[in-house]
Amino acid sequence: MTAPDGEPAYHCIDPTEIEPTPDHPCDRRSITEEIDLSILASAVYELEPGQQLPQTYHYHEQREELFYVQSGTLHVETPDEEFELSAGEIFVAEPNSPHRPYNPDGATESTVVLGIGAPRIDIARPYDPDSE
């Protein structure tokens, strides 16, 4: 839904009312697809213990990505270190920065994350940490 040029457009969204993305490794609700955003990629993710947020350990050539932890704890694997973020914290991956956000197998609660990235169209490039 795109607003005509010059006219404001606003959206109030309850992510729980968005259909989950099929065949994703966790519960993913795409805000981008729900309102047809043209530049920004955005989704709400709920990761149960043992689930990862992306489909693969990856990087983007142009996209800047931001993950805001709404509840639980998010772990992010990178080639150099692993980060552990609590509710209220933000992880940012700049272009060409491999990362894999996940909720570990031994976690006792789910993790809810708001993911935002731009540009919207920038294919995730798989990263193999064992090839380094």
Query: What domains lie within the chain, and their CATH numbers?
Result: 27-122 (2.60.120.10)
End-to-end, the C-alpha distance of the chain in Å comes to 43
Distance CA 126, CA 132 (A): 13
Averaged pLDDT in 10-residue chunks for the chain of 132 residues: 71 96 96 95 98 96 98 98 98 98 97 97 93 75
- Which pLDDT score is estimated for 3? 60
The neighbouring-strand residues paired with 60 are none
Q: Which residue in 57, 25, 23, 53 sits closest to 41, CA to CA? A: 53
